[in-house]
Structure 1
């Protein structure tokens, strides 16, 4: 199935830049909201055009992150915070274990897929680096302080904070718009999702893959996994390599249309819809097309770090996750019992070896 593009432009006020669905829903808007929810449920993925997020914004952000990831590892490790489960500052490569490797049943199911739809089987921790930067206000009080800690700014990057915040808030505004439309499409009050996202530990998490050192076809930068959060969003990368899996098990190479953002469902959205929206599975690997892009970038003397402008939106740590509205009556609701979002997050981080404070039971 082809992933459609949802244009948010008609619903963003030109003067204020605010997304607005106020007033009576007209049939055309209801149709768009139904399309958003249907596609998220069927494919777990969506392309979005948002006039507030420009290619220039993304380029400014990516250029800064390329310079950062090109710094020596010793420098980047100064921004690593293991006691915060690497949910703040730098996450070194070779640390995070793909969920499919940590959970044998997940890898077993992947191997049962038709050959052409199987992921590249990960054999160890991901090669990717990350930088975690909190977007939006944090709660004044929380029982999950380690998931809501303060910013870390690397030395020598004077526009770091302004660049991260500018791009992060724009991506977050696109997520909130889609979350509102999806809620309407799912037959829930329009603020069902956005109210849970308020004061959430949203993370602008640019991911860096060193294609100069690891540019061989078949290299796995991010092994087969799903995201732990609510919705993941990013702009198109300069280097291909992202594959996703639809609900029916079909593997699709993501080619983000020019000027568009890519959104994928996370585990928290699956939780509150009792599995109607399954968390989207994906991987980032070096393909033939990636190798071609590496050659072109080398000729043009451009950076060989593959940087993605990923933002993870997340439900507030102290909010209780459970199936919402009519989903509470779903026959699958028992699989998604009430749990604090922060508690769920900590347990998931333990599985992928990022939480040093908890041991698996």
Structure 2
């Protein structure tokens, strides 16, 4: 369905954009979102210091990707952050849209809640320490698409070196390779998701709740020779050459306070994670990547 949606003319998709809501519902056109490294000298210095063979591609401009944000689950009736909890946008011409998005999104969101409970137990916290904060959060199913027929050169960045601002991110396997992640020891590795599996990454909000014990996962999506080979196969089989990532972004509820939980409050780096409303934190992050105007 998302291959069909993204393959529409740009002017049709533009009708589903909501820049006044920081693109947190509806479509985000290509060329809007910027990797925060562009405006962050420390991030660019980090890239320069990475060893050969494990160095990120330094982004030089906005990402050539489209994304559609579909809200999942209930939102609070009273909140300070209305633009982060807005009503969903329903595109014209897709009668099964809501059913498909809700069905797939709910399955992935359930998986995130399960993992959040497992993580809390593993961290020595109360079972619901994290999931209670996620209740009625601004969770989003955000399928992301890049047109490989237009952006198919080796080295093209579809999503520049970055971390995710939310709590936990989950997605299935794309038809086209290109996702790379950095391990804690600095190694850059390609992600290969087995059939029938989902991939989960830690976001900045989880780093905040654990006082830096868990680091937000750095990653990039880039065109490789493997990506080009998959494009050739798709064309031979007369399939779409849009690269789709069906991603769910799980969040802490906007009015909850981000702070290190339990024993993490005594972690050596805890002072680097002062209390802040999750919605305020998200707004600051959206400004840094050009989705919210300061």
Assess same fold via TM > 0.5: yes
Aligned residue number for residue 292 of structure 2: 355
Q: Partners of 2:36 and 2:231 in 1: how far apart?
A: 28
Task: Give the equivalent residue in structure 2 for 1:51.
Answer: none
**Aligned counterpart, 2:172:** 235
Correspondence for 1:141: 78
Q: Secondary structure at the match of 1:79?
A: coil
Matched, 1:130 2:67: yes
What residue number does 2:163 align with? 226
Residues in 2 aligned to 1:222 and 1:308: alpha-carbon distance in whole angstroms: 11
Residue 143 (structure 1) shift: 0.3
Q: For residue 191 of structure 1, report the CA deviation from its aligned partner.
A: 0.3
> Given the alignment, which residue of 265, 269, 279 partners 1:332?
269
- Give how far 1:85 is off: 0.4
The runs of at least 4 aligned residues of structure 1 exceeding 4 Å deviation read none
Partner of residue 96 from structure 2, selected from 143, 159, 164 = 159
How far is the alpha carbon of 1:102 from its aligned partner?
1.9
Identify the residue that residue 281 of structure 1 maps to in structure 2. Answer: 218
Matching residue of 1:257: 194
Whole-Å separation in 1 of the counterparts to 2:266 and 2:93: 54
Distance 2:39 2:206 in 1: 22
TM-superposed CA distance for 1:83, in Å, is: 0.6
Q: 1:276 & 1:225 partners in 2: Cα distance? A: 19
Match of 2:136?
199
Pairing of 1:32-43 with structure 2 (within 5 A): none
SS of residue paired to 2:194 = coil
Counterpart-to-counterpart distance in 1, 2:212 and 2:270: 8
1:169 to 103, 106, 109: 106
Question: In 2, Cα distance between the equivalents of 1:322 and 1:308?
Answer: 30
Give CA deviations for 1:298-348 in whole Å, capped at 9, x if unaligned: 100100000001000000000000000000111211100000000000001
TM-score, length basis structure 2: 0.99
Aligned-residue CA RMSD (Å): 0.6
Correspondent of 1:313 among 246, 250, 257: 250
Residue in 2 aligned with 1:96? Answer: 33
Map 1:43-122 → 2, pairs under 5 A: 64-122=1-59
**2:251, 2:20 → 1: CA distance?**
20
Gaps of 5+ in 2: none
Native 8 Å contact 1:129 1:207 kept in 2: yes
Residue 104 of structure 1: how far off its partner (Å): 1.3
Q: Secondary structure at the match of 2:162?
A: strand
Structure 1 CA distance for aligned equivalents of residues 151 and 140 of structure 2:
26
Query: How far did residue 242 of structure 1 move?
Result: 0.2
TM-score normalised by L of structure 1: 0.81
Cα pair 1:99 1:226 within 8 Å, conserved:
no
Distance 1:297 1:313 in 2: 31
* Gaps in structure 1 of 5+ consecutive residues: 1-63
* Contact residue 94 and residue 126 of structure 1 kept, 8 A: yes
Matched-pair contact (CA < 8 Å) for 1:241–1:286: yes
